[in-house]
Homo-oligomer: A and B are copies of this chain.
Amino acid sequence: MLVDVHTHVYLPRYASWLRSRSIAPRILVNEAGEERLLILENETSAGRPVGPDYWDRNAKLNFMDQHGIDISVVSFANPWLDFLSPPDAESLARDLNTDLEEYCATSPCLPSSSLNRLYGLGLLPLVPGISISSVLQAVSQIAKAPHLRGLIMGTKGLGKGLDDDALDPVWKAIEEKGLVVFLHPHYGVDSSAWGDKENGHVLPLALGFPFETTTAITRFILSGAFDRFPSLRILLAHSGGTLPQLSSRLASCIDHDPIVASRLKHDARFYLGKLWFDAVAYGPEELAFVSEIVSRAGRYESGSTNTKTLADRKEGSRRMLFGTDHPFFPPLSSSEKWKSVVENLEAIDSVAGWGEDEREGVRAGNALTFFDIQ
């Protein structure tokens, strides 16, 4: 069985908004009469191809069939509602969450099963100036929708990031409802970092996206949010960006900065064991490493006497979940299997130190448990 937890959609209502805009994010028609998606204002190229894979449910189901994916937990693609005024964000969030519930609820079931093939992650009207009560209403709406299992969230919060104390009531509500937060990047880092050379989308996507996710979740951890909301369930896009590789450096820097050290109950590495990670890292060594970092987290609980140093990859695999990033990274030829999917599946199959139990867990079982799909 195969469950895809990282797969995006622009529902038709959202695509219409993008078509109506004259600045990014927008969908435009180029000189060849083709629709193109311009996702950031400073994109160097003429955007990227956009089509039915982004909004047509049959295209999503065809993609799933082509790659043996039984169930997809579909989330809205970036940049969500970030660019809207509070009233527009509020009403579009409500309508899109309704649309997504219907998109999932009316999808076909799995053969000989009562499980749907599509579940969803809604969104919140997180924009500067919105009232917290509007955000909490969206949390309630999502919690009541039978096929929505949580929400996807960018890194801006109410404009000041995810370490903004004003978000505490939102985290509290999400925690109480048991919803999943799928944390996903959009902005990268300041594009001056990429220099003058023509490198297409490689640098912002390969580096900027993971840098942004890493920064957002690190700021969240440093704010002490996991000490205040210990049952919050956050899934990190792209296998946690670079947080795993930087986590011991982060702990060391905190050790040398009393302001932060005195704020946190535990060593920074402990909090990585409270996170979930998609398995969208394209290589087996990367997946293995993330599973080690999660496995070791318990050693860093305050007061822990666990000094085990031998790497254990099995325990950590329980917090890793297969994903595709569809419809991004399409193949260059339309008939072939998507290389990004094939690579991520091969990576799961190739992790040294995982048995068939761990591989099956990452492919499907962990997601069924995490999203309470049964």
Footprint of B on A, CB under 8 Å? 160-161, 163, 189-190, 192-203, 205-207, 210-212, 214-215, 218-219, 222-223, 238-239, 242, 244-260, 269, 281-286, 288-289, 292-293, 296, 309-311, 329-330, 332, 339-340, 343, 347, 350, 352-353
Give the number of times this chain occurs in the complex, counting copies: 2
| Cα separation A256 to B247 with both chains bound (whole Å) | 30
Q: A289-B285, A339-B252 are in contact. Are A160 and B309 (CB under 8 A)?
A: no
Residues of B within 8 A of A311 (CB): 284-285, 288, 352-353
B249 and A197 contacting across the interface, CB-CB below 8 Å: no
Instruction: Offer 19 A-B interface pairs, CB within 8 angstroms, sorted by A.
Output: A193-B211, A200-B259, A200-B260, A201-B257, A202-B250, A205-B253, A206-B250, A206-B253, A207-B214, A211-B211, A239-B245, A245-B286, A248-B285, A253-B329, A269-B283, A284-B309, A285-B296, A289-B292, A309-B350
B292 to A253, Cβ gap below 8 A? no
Q: Determine the distance from Cα of A190 to Cα of B212 in the docked complex, in whole angstroms.
A: 12
Most buried by B among A196, A206, A238: A206
- Given A203-B222, A249-B282, A252-B340, 12 more pairs with CB closer than 8 A: A161-B195, A193-B212, A195-B219, A197-B222, A200-B260, A201-B256, A206-B249, A211-B242, A245-B245, A247-B283, A256-B332, A258-B332
CB-CB under 8 A from A163, the residues of chain B are 195, 197
